Amino acid sequence: MARYIGPVCRLCRREGIKLFLKGERCYTDKCAFDRRSFAPGQHGQARKGKVSEFGRQLREKQKVKRMYGLVEKQFRGYYEMASKKGGVTGENLLRYLECRLDNVAFRLGFSVSRAEARQLVRHSHLLVNGRKVNIPSYQVRQGDVIELLAASREHVRVSESLDGVDRRGVPAWLEIDRKAGKGKVITLPQRTDITAPIEERLIVELYSK
C-alpha cells in the first residue's frame, strides 16, 4: 500500500491548521506550523487569491485524509461505505475513520500520533478482546476491549505517551485504565464527540459530483 513518507510538518502548513502529525513536538515551540504558519514552497507567503468552492471542498478532503494518514483509495473507500449506510453520510464517514484501530489506540493515549499508533498495531503490540490484531484499519465495535501486551507497556515511548494522556484528553466514547494499559469502547462515536475542525459536508459535496 502506498503511503506518504515525506516531511509531515509541511502538510500542516499546506492545510493551514495543526494536524498533530508529530506527536509531542506539535505541543512545543519547535512546532513548524507555529514558527512558519504559511504554506510551504517558493510562493507560500504570497497573497492568497479567492478560493473557489471546489478548492474549499478539495482542501477539506485533503485535510481529513492527511489527519488520519490515509491515501486516496482508502479514503474514497470509506466514503463509499458511508454513502451506502443509512443515516447522514458525512457523520458515517467520520465514524468509520474514528473507529479504525490505529485511531482508537491514538485516542486512548497508547501513542502520541496516529502514525506511531499504526506502527504499534502493525507490530502486534495490541490485543482486541484478548486476541492479537495487526490490521490498522480494523473497525472496533461497542464493548471492545483494546489493551497493550504486558511487555509493550514497558516501552519508553508507550509509557511516555500514557503519561501525557491527561493533557491530550480521552474522548467520552472511550475509557482508559492507564495502569493496566487497557481501554474500552463504551459506545460508538457521535458527531459531537469529534472536536476537530472538520466540515464533512464539503467532502460529501466533492465526492457527490
pLDDT of 100 strictly over 60: yes
The pTM score is 0.85
Q: Cell 489506540 sits at which residue?
A: 105
What letter would DSSP give residue 193? G
Indicate the domain borders of the chain.
Answer: 9-41+51-97+196-207, 101-188
Determine whether domain 101-188 maps to CATH 3.30.1490.20: no
Which of 10-19, 60-69, 184-193, 196-205 bottoms out in mean pLDDT, i.e. has the lowest? 10-19
CATH number of 9-41+51-97+196-207: 1.10.1050.10
pLDDT of 96 strictly over 90: yes
Collapsing DSSP states into helix, strand and coil, what is residue 185? strand
